[in-house]
Amino acid sequence: MEKSPLGKLPYLKGKDTKIADSRLIAHYLQAQYRNNLDAHLTELEQATAKVWQRLIEEHLY
């Protein structure tokens, strides 16, 4: 198994790309498949989700 560039998970290796950051992976997948997974959420719910995501990424990794 190939090691990620940052040595961490999650890690996405595509045909022509390597991404080792969860936010960038989500952005890449949404752009590739033209699908916004948060479209059903209100602006407040989207903001709350981003806060939780950053909190988890910065303090649990």
The CA distance from 51 to 49, in Å, is 5
8 A C-beta contact, residue 29 and residue 10: no
Query: Minimal CA–CA distance to 53: which of 31, 37, 40?
Result: 37
The per-residue pLDDT for 39 is 92
Residue 7 reports pLDDT greater than 90:
no
Of residues 43 and 61, more confidently modeled: 43
Sequence spans of domains, the chain: 12-60
Average pLDDT over residues 16-40: 89
Q: How confident is the model at residue 1 (pLDDT cuts 50, 70, 90)?
A: low
Residue 5 preceded by cis peptide, ω within 30: no
Would you call 29 helix, strand, or coil by DSSP?
helix
Mean pLDDT (whole number) for 45-56: 93
Q: What percent of the chain has pLDDT over 70?
A: 95
